[in-house]
Structure 1
Amino acid sequence: MADAALSLEARLKAAARDLGFADCRICRADEPWEAGARLEEFVDHGRHGDMAWMETTLERRRAPTAMWTDAKSAIMLAMNYGPDSDPLAQLELKAHGNISVYARGADYHDLIKKKLKQLAGQFAQLTGADVKVFVDTAPLMEKPLAAKAGLGWQGKHTNLVSREHGSWLFLGAILTAAELEPDAAETDHCGSCRACLDICPTNAFPAAYQLDARRCISYLTIEHAGPIPAEFRTPIGNRIYGCDDCLAICPWNKFAQTAGEQKLWARAELKLPELEDLAALDDAAFREVFAGSPVKRSGRTRILRNVLVAIGNSGDTGLVASSVLPHLDDEAAMVRGAAVWALWRLDPKRFEAEKAKRLPDEQDEEVGAEWTLTPK
């Protein structure tokens, strides 16, 4: 922020670009907005599923000033994470696990927070104003703020869309007590397009601009703590962590560039790992493979559940002996249940034989139901 001839806002944006951010825009943080009411409706309808934290932090999420009463301006930052290949094409590689593009490397929270702190520190030193930094880890609604600041608009899939960067954007925020000149909000450019709604494998959008997280594959594979409901298992395909379909199909992606920053954080071994290799990971190996990755936070049990669902969808009977049968004895009931379903999908004859041996001794009610109820 060295060029004193520029306005404070222009210097801030130049500094953001120097740190690798794709865009930086500003909005008021202390004005009324409708996002709080929309969130309350989302929670009232139960569409947050197991994410109880959304309900318990609802009051603080209603507005930025509910988080910090002195906040006057929001400095909104975007970082491009555009992939170098089409995630939709990778859904056909059924022997491999599909990890959402954003999670194929270092945790984006760490990547962005470091840069946000650098920018916030420079700004605070220059202005003397108080600042607070946020990267999706506190009850602050970044997407509505980003739209208000003009970084893009919330598309029909509820994620941010940019005319310059498509749907591939990490977001971060700096709240400050400083009074800054706001940018114009972006207008909605979705038009009549409904590609993101129509491609959803589980019909997670009850209407445009509305999401029912309970049906969303990202929620089911990352946040949901129990067995994946039977109706969603086949549509999940080989997605073992998240889902990029509604993002990847967005026509505005044609203007997005592959993220140069991605080379710094993406890891080739997490792009399309083999399901057989993932199924063989014990707890120590799981922690090693996913060290520093957001996948690690979900834990081996939840990820192994997803891997076994993907194996059941693979059609590869060769995985029964190596990757399914061993997990019928897993100490985690959720893993055993997923292995039962995978066995039923791949080898119905072996399923009946194993059922006769194992069902009488199974103590978990949900696993017992997997053996006795015809899976879908």
Structure 2
Amino acid sequence: ADDKESALIMEETANNATSTYTAPQVSWIQKNEPETWKQTRHILVAKDYIKYRLTGEMMTDYSEASGTLLFDVRNRKWSDEMFNFFSIPRSVFPDAAPSATIMGRITREIAQQTGLPEGTPVANGSADNSAAALGAGMVDKGQVTLIIGTAGVISACSDSPLPDEKHRVLCWNYCLEDRWINIGVTQTAGESLNWFKKAFDYENKKSSGDIFSAYDKETADIPDGCDGLMFLPYLNGERTPYWDSNARGVFFGINMKSTKPHFIKSIMEGVSFALRHNIETVESLGMAVDQVLAVGGGLKSPVWLPVLSRIIQRPINTVAVPDTGNVGNSIIAGLALGEFASVEEATRQLISIDRTIKSPPSEKYERRYLHFLGLYEDLKERFASYAES
């Protein structure tokens, strides 16, 4: 998109066009697979298709609709301007409604096939990231949910939309009414450790054990800063805040002290630096981050969690129930059925803080963080020229 088109998309959707959104993907299908497009009548994401099969009704929610680049995030409605811009008929997308809406009921046919009682109400639901954040207890502005899974994701809650005119973080609707989230994504977080194991750790290559547990003992005695070794976690390009598909992973500062555990801990530190950058990018939009709620496989590590706390310079709260997505979906269903008077009541009943990690600040990490940011800037043009060679 040119500057004028980019400005229009930002004005209508509060977001910048990237290939991760539905509308550009549909445009690709229209251009490259016209026969497929001719046969297309409706477009549903996975959970909305399941709801359709259960109820015979089509509906999506605001959080999922935000990911289409066809939705007016500020006003919580489809954007006719964007449907016209992308030449996509409005009729192929379902109506959008709040997550805590009963969108339909189990049909007789489905009841016979599945054993679910006919007439069972079905809640509208939400995007997976929103459900996981809600299940971690994110309900108020200034709260941030941080997930280290395959990718690293931060979701920051606000009571008004905060579009990023610099096109670094996403601005989507949350699964709660009158709440929005800014989302930052580090493409390869836990996956960076998984890559290291598969590429270099031959002895454990076929192990089915938890990779984070396997590396804890090896890294426990490695000093912060890894004796000068630093990692840029851009193994598959990077999303937030650079949106640079040419960026690549880098181990910088390899020296005679560098051992296998140094490389492992440097990966933990590099991912943590990237997540801090995401949090600070959201704060630059005018949001004050008051609380960090952490979930995900990477945060099981007794080594990584304190490292993360020292690097982001904030206390980190973990929750007692690890599968926060299921908890979030339970809250949404309970609100839709009227089982909870408020989301605050629901979180009091279903969510409890497991522990709080508050590590002292580290001057070494502060210096390393500036080098981390500078290293990408130093290599940015080199990444681009190397990709073309």
Higher RCO (CA-CA < 8 Å; seq separation 6+)? 1
| TM-score, normalisation: structure 1 | 0.26
